[in-house]
A and B are shown apart, each in its own frame.
Chain A
């Protein structure tokens, strides 16, 4: 276990204060309608924040976040005459209007004698010449990337009306080696691909990490020639424990939204059923008894229901049941095979992998099975995970050459992007928003 960098990063998350320095203007002139999937991204100017190199670093991280969302188009504003050296001085709007930018994000960075990083920023509507946001963040100097992510979240929320998802992390499986002897390591990174850290050493296969809603814990599956295990890893203490001993395979773990339970599959004599482990009492309860494959359980946000996939109807389809196993109801009826259902954190959709016509798709449907929409198509897409705002999904896409990468797509399916992490990877799991 190599937890040191990870723990350092986690413990570096000091109290990050955020205070509005100017009340926000009640009504923005510009708005981005996220549900329409940004037919045309909003042009935005994000000049380097004043205050030296760190200022430029911070505006670059903000720019990267907003650009990858697909909703914003950061412009090259290097030649603009207005230097914006003082964040307390109103910008010269005609300069910014001339760039075509509808929004302007400017800011300044100072580091106090005590080493405390202070970042002031303002978000402007360049045409109505109104300030939409003015916030100050203070943090430790090494935490500057998180400040940039928090500013990105504030801007995103102000302009789209939806919560941001930039101050988050992603657990995933880092891959290397040939297809026939793939090395798989548990890894975690910032959502923009920065600060990757590798938690296991690749001496055994790891799969399907998932975050707890508290974000301090990850559950994942390990597979060795001697058998499979489900681990719970506390990111703060580095402590690992298993969900217990079972005679057959254990796999497909996922936390309940309140973090008090883990649902997973247990195989016995070739038959896989879903169990729920209460983390406080350590008691596990079998909640499906069908001789079919029952796996990939995912709780509804209120914890009262579980969506899962089963081939009890002949081939893999999606089913919803009460979290005690009662009231099982099939929700997917399309042709093809449906697997890996994941309930959106806001409850309005279930995302899934669908196989049809020799292709794989990431799709979403309502929890009652209505409004099915396929968002992607490729040789092999699988395993969607929701950003905490429930409007963006990350998944793994493996090409026919066997190279697996992380991708994101929004719920409209219009904004499909390779994720920022450049290495071979699979099984992403998005964290909740960090504190």
Chain B
């Protein structure tokens, strides 16, 4: 799943949740003494079934599934140009990845290092390998067994944004933690 789709999904879920909360708040309630009646208010009609059934409350993906990892944890972290050190904004994601992986010890992952197109093919394969390994070391440092983690570099072969500007390149400089086995 691409970064953008991921965000869209997340925003949609938040939207859905907000909509269902709003629906709950405005749902007609059985008559009771809770709300003080104002003089101008007409007499409440007798309770009837609402025309629209209450919106469902989103429960999110089942814990321990690939979806759970992708949506609630995040599978990609991003890097600076020609760099492979873990940025401070990537650490919360990777820490959450490690905690999740520690909670589900049967899960195995492949970390895929990616580079933007502003480099040549072979150098970028090496750079992607550095990024994948940097993520691997971080996860191992957080207690995930190295035997559960393999690494791969796609170099610049698998961009997630086809754009030709710094925004796109920034997204394409990433490492993706892909679950290969053991999820629910």
Interface residues of A (CB under 8 A from B): 178-182, 184, 205, 207-208, 223, 225, 227-228, 248-249, 251-252, 265, 267, 269-272, 293, 295-296, 309, 311, 315-316, 337, 339-340, 353, 355, 379-380, 382-383, 398, 400, 402, 427
Contacts and interface: CB of A to CB of B under 8 A. Distances in A.
A293 B133 contact: no
Contacts of A207: 121, 157
Sort A-B residue pairs by CB-CB distance and give the 3 closest, nearest first.
Answer: A270-B133, A272-B126, A293-B126
B129 interface: yes
B134 A270 contact: yes
Nearest to A207: B121
Contacts of A398: 117
A267 B153 contact: yes
Contact of A225 (B130, B133, B152, B159): B152
A248 B126 CA distance: 11
Interface residues of B, number: 31
Given A178-B162, A295-B123, A383-B120, 9 more contacts: A225-B110, A227-B152, A267-B125, A270-B129, A270-B151, A293-B126, A337-B119, A340-B122, A355-B119
A80 B71 CA distance: 75
B162 A339 contact: no
Task: Say what secondary structure dominates the interface of chain B.
Answer: mixed
B129 A309 contact: no
B160 interface: yes
A380 B118 CA distance: 8
Contact of B122 (A178, A227, A251, A355): A251
Interface in B86-137: 110, 117-123, 125-127, 129-130, 132-134, 137
B84 A295 contact: no
Interface of B: 2, 82, 84, 110, 117-123, 125-127, 129-130, 132-134, 137, 151-154, 157-162, 164
5 contacts: A180-B158, A180-B162, A265-B122, A267-B126, A270-B130
Contacts of B119: 337, 339, 355
Given A270-B132, A383-B120, A180 B159 contact: yes
Contacts of B158: 180-181
B123 A427 contact: no
A383 B121 contact: yes
A306 to B, nearest CB: 14
A13 B134 CA distance: 51
Nearest to B157: A205
Contacts of B160: 180
Contacts of B161: 180
Task: Say what secondary structure dominates the interface of chain A.
Answer: strand
A184 B156 CA distance: 13
B122 A223 contact: no
B159 to A, nearest CB: 6
B152 to A, nearest CB: 7
Nearest to A227: B152
Contacts of A208: 121-122
Nearest to A272: B126
Nearest to A353: B120
Contact of A182 (B134, B137, B157, B164): B157
A265 B126 CA distance: 9
A226 to B, nearest CB: 8
A225 B152 CA distance: 8
A380 B117 contact: yes
A94 to B, nearest CB: 55
- Among A180, A296, A353, A427, the most chain B Cβ lie within 10 Å of the Cβ of A180
A399 to B, nearest CB: 9
Contacts of B126: 249, 251, 265, 267, 272, 293, 295
A271 B2 CA distance: 27
A400 B164 contact: yes
A296 B159 contact: no
Nearest to B112: A225
Nearest to A314: B82
B130 A249 contact: no
A251 B133 contact: no
A284 B154 CA distance: 24
Contacts of A179: 159, 162
Contacts of A267: 125-126, 129, 153
- Among B120, B132, B137, the most chain A Cβ lie within 10 Å of the Cβ of B120
A269 B133 contact: yes
Contacts of A178: 162
A382 B157 contact: no
A379 to B, nearest CB: 7
A270 B84 CA distance: 10
B57 to A, nearest CB: 35
A6 B130 CA distance: 38
Nearest to B117: A380
A111 B9 CA distance: 69
A181 B158 CA distance: 7
- Among A179, A265, A340, the most chain B Cβ lie within 10 Å of the Cβ of A179
A265 B137 CA distance: 22
Nearest to B123: A339
B19 to A, nearest CB: 32
